[in-house]
Structures are given as structure tokens and as C-alpha cells.
Amino acid sequence: MPVTMASLSSVSARTSPSPAVAPRRVVCASAPSDNGAGSSATLQKDRKPSPLQRGGTLQGAAAAGKDASDKFKSMAEGKQRSGPVLQMVDGRFSDFRWTGGRWDLSLFRDPKTGGTSWDAVIDAEMARRKLLEDSPIACTNEDPVLFDTAEIPWWAWVRRFHLPEAEKLNGRAAMVGYVLALGVDQLTGVGLLDQQNSFFGKVLLHVAVFGILLIRSSSDVDRFKGLIDEAFYYDKQWQSTWEGQERPSSDK
């Protein structure tokens, strides 16, 4: 059966075969196409199922877990699927997902959705930076670092970092706002809904929301005091020569 042998070899020449995907190449199947159990579901109507799809082959979830171990899978595929994780080997950063100076995003697959798991990428980059901060390594021309954090999409950052913080801040703003509203009600007798119409109520609402936005925790107050002092320190140093003196350009 020379034709079938040729078709078998052409199939095995493909890297990363995935049982769920129908074979791209039309394989000349000289044998009659009787569909074996469970092999017809993913085939296109006009393509005959290949010998590898028939004869009791399981597809998709039913075949899951029937692969050889990770090690041999990676050897067969030619791509590493495991290895050192976030380590310093011989003064170099070594991780099986870090190749060519960037994270190989195909190795960060999310098992549930099939796309890239951006959280895992963010975690890996955080860990890499921490590792290099604690033990800096020499910069070499042979291993340049090319990863740009802009490769991670904006919504991954928002979901991971902004949303929890926003939830916390909104919670605080709501609590503070409610207590203030109760206080205003007690003092002025204006009810919660009626306060929305009063100017004083609106002002307090804005104060609560923006206050919580800017001053997220008590340590922020000290930080902002220092910021204003720092922002103008250099200016003062430059102008100290002119202190108490008239500056020629001020006459013009």
C-alpha cells in the first residue's frame, strides 16, 4: 500500500498535531471510506477521513490524557514544554518559556480558553524582574532582552491591576458617602434622595468621590506633601542668588 504509506509519512511530518483539527492536506485514501466510531464529527463533508482518523481513533476530549508524557511530547515536537523555571544558570537567566530574549507566548496557553494566559505572562515577567533586581547579571550581546511590556494587551493590565483596586476604592467611597449622607440627613433633615437635589449634598458627594480617588490610604497624605515640596525645590535652588536682589530682566 504505497499510497497509504506516503500519506502516513506526510501526516507525521506536521508538527504539533491536534486531534480536534481536521487534516489540512487532502490525503489520497484509496481505502473505502467507512466511518469508524467517533471519527466523522470533525471532518469536512467533501473530505474523506484519513486513515489516522478512522478505525477507532478518539477525537477531542475523549482522547485527552492519552498522550505520552510531556518529555517525549516535547522531544517529538521539537519544542521545550518544561525545563528550568525562573532560574539563574551560569550567570544567565534561564526559563524554558524565555527564548530569544522574549517570552514565548505560545507556551502560556490558558487551558480553559485556548488563548494566551496573560496573567501567567505578567507573573513570569514580575518574577524575572525581581530575580534580576536581587542578583543583577552581566549584559551580553549574545542574549539581548527584547521583551516589551506593551505586548501584553491593555485589558489584561486593567483586569489584573486596576479592577481590584477600583473595587476597593469604590467600596470605600460608598461607605464614606453613605455615612456622610446619614450625617447630612441627621443635621438638616433632608432625606437621602432629596440630598441629590441640594447643592450641599452634591458638593459632599464630589468631595467623597474625588477625595477617595486621590487619597487612597492614609500614607498618601504624607506622600503628596512631600511631592509639592520636591517639585519646586530645584527652582528655589536656582533662584537663591536673586533672593533680596533686583534681577535685571525684571525691569524689562
Binding positions for another protein, rule: CB under 8 A:
122, 125-130, 132-133, 136-141, 144-150, 152, 154, 157, 160-161, 222-227, 229-230, 233-238, 240-241, 243-249
Q: What whole-number distance in Å separates Cα of residue 217 and Cα of residue 214?
A: 9
Nearest distance, CB of residue 207 and another protein, angstroms: 24
Q: Which is nearer to another protein, 130 or 202 (CB)?
A: 130
Can you tell me whether residue 93 is helix, strand or coil? strand
Q: What whole-number distance in Å separates Cα of residue 59 and Cα of residue 19?
A: 6
Q: Which is nearer to another protein, 152 or 181 (CB)?
A: 152
Q: Which is nearer to another protein, 70 or 229 (CB)?
A: 229
Q: How many residues does the chain have?
A: 252
Among 216, 200, 134, residue whose Cα is nearest residue 167: 216
Q: Which is nearer to another protein, 31 or 132 (CB)?
A: 132
Nearest distance, CB of residue 107 and another protein, angstroms: 19
Nearest distance, CB of residue 209 and another protein, angstroms: 21
Nearest distance, CB of residue 132 and another protein, angstroms: 5
Q: What whole-number distance in Å separates Cα of residue 179 and Cα of residue 214?
A: 19
Nearest distance, CB of residue 113 and another protein, angstroms: 22
Amino acid at 67: D
Among 69, 68, 41, residue whose Cα is nearest residue 53: 41
In 23-124, beta strands by DSSP E: 87-89, 92-94, 98-99, 102-103
Nearest distance, CB of residue 46 and another protein, angstroms: 48
Bridge partners, 99 (sequence order): 102
Q: Which is nearer to another protein, 143 or 185 (CB)?
A: 143
**C-alpha 107: how far from chain center:** 13
Q: Which is nearer to another protein, 150 or 187 (CB)?
A: 150
Which cell numbers hold the place of 108?
502560556
Q: What whole-number distance in Å separates Cα of residue 115 and Cα of residue 103?
A: 15
